[in-house]
């Protein structure tokens, strides 16, 4: 009876928190279990096979036996051809059969100095999925589907942590959790890709940092940066801010160094196996000529893949809040967060160097995911720092309505890859006001001429 009474008291005092967390949990789990077909878009083939290799022999060198075990597990309840990327798996499996020549590659899989095959993306996200992959075998589950459930769990756990560590009331915290869920998380939850992992760890890291838990924040951002190296810019900024806040002394420098040193692991891993620190750069997928005003502005405002599609109102309010805080800078106690603006700019410039700009994606450019995570949490804290209660609540409600509208608007699109389909809003602008839409050539060629201008 005492336990029942405690539960009643908890629900009485935390009813809104409970409703929001239960809603997000059920919504995410239902979405991945019934709404999304397990698929392997983009670079998913690499992450799927690294998970398979780790599950089979606790290493990330990939052999034909790993392809065989994955296929055996997949066809227990599905035909092989029902996997939309079955031809990709078969093609790389043939490549793995040899002959193996150093630095030969196929679809992101490379032959190392020791003759073994590795991918050109790091394996930390794949490592997180190994327990779920083992469970998939025990219960004869689709080995592609486990990534969706891991992504859903990452989102759910993040929301629980937001509430557990929040200094705001239930409505404000719950609003942030809903905005977080209905961000790019909603579109990439089905991808066997590190986007959800990166969004969650980046957002949690900044959440802790904004709550003065500097070292925890740096640690989480370090882990996120293992999969998305441009986050090193954010990491460097947070380290400098921490030293400024905590004091520049040997003790604090050693603490920070002990955390961030792990960011070197991907470069050391690739250098050990390939004598090259970055295989993406080696393959010529990075080009500084991509840093131009058209691509940079398009990253945020392009009508086919820009950030504005996922955050139509929040992005605009964010820009206004940055201006407002800048105006009030002299009277503002906490100024450090404005460093996030140049961080976002620099990370966007790095993203612009990718030659395959119109890559496989879900509503927005893949690189929008983790950069928008920085924008979203900065928007939230700017709002609560610069506004009164009525304005905070009103803006959060408006922002949430705009996110729900965005979700509804894009529901009709294919669930995995939209890089070759033009958005209706972009078509409308081109038909009626063509002078206002002049996208990056790769976007125009792929979506309106039906060809791919860059190699996958």
Closest CA to 222 of 204, 246, 241: 204
**pLDDT the model gives residue 450:** 62
Residues 139 and 286 in one domain: no
Q: What is the pLDDT of residues 314-336, one digit of tens each?
A: 999 999 999 988 887 776 667 88
**pLDDT greater than 60 at residue 454:** no
Closest CA to 153 of 176, 170, 128: 128
Residues 184 and 60 in one domain: no
Q: How confident is the model at residue 444 (pLDDT cuts 50, 70, 90)?
A: confident
Q: What is the pLDDT of residues 24-38, one digit of tens each?
A: 999 999 999 998 889
Last residue of a domain, one of 90, 110, 143: 143
Last residue of a domain, one of 118, 143, 168: 143
Q: How many domains does the chain have?
A: 2
Residues 424 and 392 in one domain: yes
Residues 226 and 207 in one domain: yes
Q: How confident is the model at residue 418 (pLDDT cuts 50, 70, 90)?
A: low
CA 242, CA 253: separation in Å to the nearest integer?
10
**pLDDT the model gives residue 331:** 64
Q: Does the pTM exceed 0.75?
A: yes
**pLDDT the model gives residue 416:** 47
**pLDDT the model gives residue 455:** 42
**pLDDT greater than 80 at residue 7:** no
What is the overall mean pLDDT for the chain?
92
Residues 227 and 137 in one domain: no
Indicate whether 30 belongs to any domain.
no
Indicate whether 424 belongs to any domain.
yes
- Residue span of the structural domain in which 334 resides: 148-448
Indicate whether 11 belongs to any domain.
no
**pLDDT the model gives residue 456:** 41
Indicate whether 32 belongs to any domain.
no
Residues 271 and 343 in one domain: yes
**pLDDT the model gives residue 410:** 86
Last residue of a domain, one of 110, 143, 176: 143
Residues 98 and 172 in one domain: no
**pLDDT greater than 70 at residue 412:** no
Q: What is the pLDDT of residues 190-239, one digit of tens each?
A: 999 999 999 999 999 999 999 999 999 999 999 999 999 999 999 999 99
Q: What is the pLDDT of residues 374-384, one digit of tens each?
A: 999 999 999 99
**pLDDT greater than 70 at residue 252:** yes
Residues 265 and 126 in one domain: no
Q: How far is CA 114 from CA 96, 101, 251, 447, 450, in A?
A: 14, 10, 41, 41, 40
């Amino acid at each position: 009876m005492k336990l029942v009474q405690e539960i009643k008291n908890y629900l009485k005092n935390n009813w809104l928190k409970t409703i929001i967390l239960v809603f997000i949990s059920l919504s995410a789990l239902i979405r991945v279990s019934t709404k999304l077909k397990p698929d392997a878009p983009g670079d998913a083939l690499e992450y799927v096979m690294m998970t398979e290799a780790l599950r089979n022999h606790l290493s990330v060198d990939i052999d034909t036996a790993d392809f065989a075990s994955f296929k055996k597990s997949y066809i227990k309840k599905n035909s092989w051809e029902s996997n939309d990327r079955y031809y990709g798996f078969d093609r790389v499996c043939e490549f793995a059969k040899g002959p193996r020549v150093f630095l030969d590659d196929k679809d992101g899989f490379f032959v190392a100095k020791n003759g073994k095959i590795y991918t050109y993306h790091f394996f930390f996200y794949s490592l997180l999925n190994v327990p779920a992959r083992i469970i998939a075998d025990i219960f004869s589950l689709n080995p592609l589907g486990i990534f969706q459930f891991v992504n859903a769990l990452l989102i759910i756990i993040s929301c629980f942590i937001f509430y557990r560590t929040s200094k705001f009331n239930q409505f404000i915290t719950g609003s942030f959790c809903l905005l977080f869920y209905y961000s790019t998380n909603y579109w990439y939850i089905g991808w066997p890709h590190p986007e959800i992992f990166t969004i969650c760890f980046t957002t949690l890291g900044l959440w802790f940092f904004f709550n003065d838990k500097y070292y925890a924040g740096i640690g989480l951002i370090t882990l996120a940066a293992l999969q998305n190296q441009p986050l090193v810019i954010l990491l460097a900024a947070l380290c400098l801010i921490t030293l400024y806040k905590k004091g520049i002394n040997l003790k604090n420098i050693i603490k920070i160094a002990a955390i961030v040193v792990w960011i070197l692991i991907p470069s050391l891993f690739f250098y050990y196996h390939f004598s090259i620190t970055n295989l993406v750069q080696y393959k010529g997928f990075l080009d500084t000529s991509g840093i131009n005003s058209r691509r940079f502005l398009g990253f945020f405002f392009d009508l086919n893949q820009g950030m504005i599609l996922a955050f139509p109102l929040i992005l605009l309010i964010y820009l206004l809040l940055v201006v407002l805080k800048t105006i009030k800078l002299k009277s503002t106690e906490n100024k450090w967060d404005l460093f996030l603006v140049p961080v976002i700019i620099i990370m966007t410039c790095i993203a612009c160097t990718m030659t395959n700009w119109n890559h496989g994606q879900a509503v927005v450019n893949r690189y929008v995911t983790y950069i928008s995570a920085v924008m979203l949490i900065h928007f939230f804290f700017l709002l609560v720092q610069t506004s009164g209660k009525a304005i905070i609540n009103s803006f959060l409600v408006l922002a949430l309505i705009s996110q729900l509208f965005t979700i509804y608007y894009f529901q009709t699109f294919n669930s995995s890859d939209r890089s070759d389909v033009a958005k209706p809003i972009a078509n409308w602008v081109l038909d009626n006001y063509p002078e206002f839409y002049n996208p990056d050539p790769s976007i125009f060629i792929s979506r309106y001429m039906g060809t791919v201008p860059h190699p996958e």
